[in-house]
Structure 1
Amino acid sequence: MVTEFDLPHIFDPGSANENPKDRIGETKPPLHLIPPAAEIQEAIVMGLGARKYGPFNWRSANIRATIYIAAAKRHLAQWLDGQDDDLESGISHLAHARACLGILLDAAATGHLIDDRPEPGAASELIAQYTTLPGCGEHQ
C-alpha cells in the first residue's frame, strides 16, 4: 500500500511534466482497456438478469460453477453457429456469455462459488500436445 510518505520516493523530480499520480495509477488494473461496446452490452444483459432474478443474486445464494459454464458455452455455441443475438433478449450471445463469466468471477472472488467442476482431466495437456502439430492452429 502506498502512503503519503512513499510519494517523494516514487516521484521523479527530474520529469517536470509528470503528474505524481501517474506512477501510482500505472500500478492499478488498466480498466480503460475493457472495450466499452462489450461492457455496455454486458451491462444490458446484467440488467435483464437483475430484473429477472434480482441484482447480485449470486451473492445471496451460492452458485454452481457448472451451471454458468454450461450457459456461457450454450451462448458461445449459438453465436458460433450463426445466431448473433439471443432470441429472448435480442442482445448478443457474446454479451450473455460475458455476463455468465463475470458472475463466475465475482462469485469466486466473494466466496459464493460452489466449485462443482469434475476432477481434473487432460484438457490442458491435450491442448499443449495438439498445438505443436502442423496445421492444428490454422483457422479453418
Structure 2
Amino acid sequence: MTEKGKAVKFDGLKAEHHLLPSLALEEICGALSFGAEKYEAYNWAAGEGINWSRYFNACLRHLWAFWRGKNKDEESKKDHLAHAGACILILLEMYLISKGKDDRPVYYPKKSEN
C-alpha cells in the first residue's frame, strides 16, 4: 500500500546504473572510440568473433603497463586502465552472448554455473 500523494516507484531488483563510476566510464569510452577508429566499431563481434585470449592478453598488457608506472598508452594517448577496462567489457560481453572462441586453457575445468 502506498501513501496517498506520495510518489512511489518499485525498483526492487533492477540494476542500479547510477552506481557506475561516470569518469572511469568516460575514459573507457574514449579507449573504445580509439579502437573503433583503428579497427572499426564492434570489430570484436565480426564474423565468428575473436579468440577470448586476445582481449585477456591485451587487458593484462595494459594492466602491467599501468602497474609499472606508465599511465598513458603511447599510441592512443589514453590511460592504460581505460584500455584494460575496455578489454574487460568486451571480454565480458563476448562471454555473455557466447561470441568468439572460448580458448581458455583446457587444463582448468570450465564450470558453467560459476
CA displacement at 1:34 relative to structure 2: 0.9
Helix, strand or coil at the partner of 1:89: coil
* Number of the residue aligned with 1:29: 15
For 1:107 and 1:57, how far apart are their aligned partners in 2?
Answer: 12
- Percent of aligned positions with the same letter in both sequences? 33
In structure 1, the gaps of 5 or more residues are 1-11, 122-140
What aligned pairs does 1:1-140 form with structure 2 within 5 A after superposition? 12-14=1-3, 16-19=5-8, 22-23=9-10, 25-61=11-47, 62-118=49-105, 119-120=107-108
Provide TM-score, normalisation by structure 2.
0.84
* Number of the residue aligned with 1:128: none
RMSD value, Cα: 1.6
| Higher-Rg member (1/2) | 1
Provide TM-score, normalisation by structure 1.
0.70
Asked if 2 retains the 8 angstrom alpha-carbon contact of 1:104 and 1:113, the reply is no
Q: Higher relative contact order by CA 8 Å / sep ≥ 6: 1 or 2?
A: 2
Letter in 2 for 1:112: K
